[in-house]
Amino acid sequence: MDVVILMGSKSDMEFAKRIGKTLEKFGVEFCYRIASAHKTPEKVLEILKEYDDAVFITVAGRSNALSGFVDANTVSPVIACPPYSDRFAGMDILSSLRMPSGVAPLVVLEPENAAIAAVKILAIKRHELREMVAEYQRQKRLEIEEADANIRGTGHKSGT
């Protein structure tokens, strides 16, 4: 398994599917799992042992202990992708940003970008993924160029 998308609860599934959709575009093997650092820490540890060479993307909102717990218990890369919440004016994100020393999950807020980060990690050793990432980036640049070309010449000009 290349990537494990580990959710804190089933309510995170719709958000996690957005990560999976991007991973599918790159042909990256992934799976979804659910375990809670607060409620089922032993299960989290079992999952880490089962997929000891995967990249982990953790999806947990509110008090995101999952990302730090996973990172502290694996040497594999961990990408925290917490669902954004309007509750507490979005300040629950701080539980993903402030970690104890030696605990270093990467924090990426957008699901597509979390998937891209995982693919880039895998691409360090997989040439075909490097080429796919380069093409993805080229397409993103083209989108900007096309958007600019489409609006060029629009707007208001002052009288002459």
Binding residue numbers for substrate: 9, 12, 36, 39, 61, 63
Q: Are 95 and 41 in contact (CB under 8 A)?
A: no
Residues in a beta bridge with 59: 7
Give the rounded distance of the alpha carbon of 77 from its chain centre.
Answer: 11
Which residues participate in the annotated binding site?
9, 12, 36, 39, 61, 63
Residues 35, 36, 39, 42: is their CA dihedral positive or negative? positive
Quote the crossing angle between the two packed helices 127-151 and 111-123, to the nearest 10°: 140
Q: Alpha carbon 56 to chain centroid distance?
A: 9
- Residue at token pair 């997929």: 51
